[in-house]
Amino acid sequence: MEEYGACQGLKSSWPSGRGLAREWVGPTGWDRNKALRPRGGRSAVLQRWNAYPSARAFCLHPFLAGRHFGCTVLPKPRDLVSRTNPMAGSQGRGRAAYTFNIEAVGFGRGEKLPDVVLKPPPLFPDTDYKPVPLKAGEGEDYMLALKQELRETMKRMPYYIETPEEKQDIERYSKRYMKVYKEEWIPDWRRLPREMMPRKKCKKAGPKSEKVKDMGKGASLTNTADVLKKIEELEKRGDGEKSDEENEEKEGGKEKSQEGDEEDDAAAEQEEYDEEEQEEENDYINSYFEDGDDFGADSDDNMDEATY
């Protein structure tokens, strides 16, 4: 049973207890009997109190203790009061009743009030009035098309960081051809706090530098994707030695172009970051089409494969 004294700040001055009416004392000459006599019996009282939630904003806290507008503490309905507190008095006393002029809020005396609502409002209520149709016009149509286009474009920008998917048990064939080509983005490190720059990772620095010097060995490739890619490339070339040379060339070319790309002439950190970035984000780290030399051959290969 909760206490009644929940009117904020007034708890001390309020008699705590269950028998509401019994503990009220009114030196102002308030006629207890007249006010407390419920009109219409218990069920009517219950109805009235549940009728309009906002009407209950007038709490029944006694006059002396001051009023708290908007207090939502209700007196317990008569039934519960009498059941749990046998000393609450007999019929006619201790009933919840209105202590204010009910006319002021607009109900007539003894009027039939709306039914009690005993459950939360429905999730999708019926509306009496249907919504107004949407604005239609050239501007609105254009903005709509623009919005949908922007949504698609954003997904392809380098700022959209995809969650790394879990490795699927079967490599789907179509996945290779549905990959989105993403541009690479390097922020301007001069504008960002220094801690934003990715640190040199010691364990990767070793194999990375080895890879730079000597692709052919293929040692310590930690990334599975790299391995798969290498196999693909080797298959495509169909010629192991040539692929090594090409890869080394490509690696060198990639380095040069990366250094050219950067706006910042910082060091190994930068290059490693790019390599890491590319490795993590896509499989095309050793780009097919870095230099002009192999471009023609590659594109021909691609074309052959595409047409069936």
Compute the least distance from the CB of residue 80 to other proteins, in Å. Answer: 24
104 near other proteins, rule: CB under 8 A? yes
**Minimum CB distance to other proteins smaller for 1 or for 105:** 105
Rounded CA-CA distance 222/212 in Å is 14
**Minimum CB distance to other proteins smaller for 107 or for 226:** 107
Rounded CA-CA distance 143/37 in Å is 65
Residues 163-202 that bind other proteins (CB under 8 A): 163, 181-188, 190-196, 198
The correct pick among 25, 57, 227, 228 for binding other proteins (CB under 8 A) is 57
Compute the least distance from the CB of residue 253 to other proteins, in Å. Answer: 9
The correct pick among 1, 92, 160, 219 for binding other proteins (CB under 8 A) is 160
CA 303 to chain centre: 44
Task: List the end-to-end C-alpha distance of the chain, in Å, as a whole number.
Answer: 79
Rounded CA-CA distance 171/229 in Å is 13
Compute the least distance from the CB of residue 227 to other proteins, in Å. Answer: 21
Length of the chain: 308
DSSP annotation of 195 reads G
Rounded CA-CA distance 177/307 in Å is 13
Compute the least distance from the CB of residue 254 to other proteins, in Å. Answer: 10
Cβ contacts of 183 within 8 Å, gap of 6 or more: 157, 158
287 near other proteins, rule: CB under 8 A? yes
Rounded CA-CA distance 220/212 in Å is 12
Number of chain positions touching other proteins (CB under 8 A): 75
Compute the least distance from the CB of residue 214 to other proteins, in Å. Answer: 25
- Span from 66-74, 76-84, 220-228, 242-250 in contact with other proteins (CB under 8 A): 66-74
110 near other proteins, rule: CB under 8 A? no
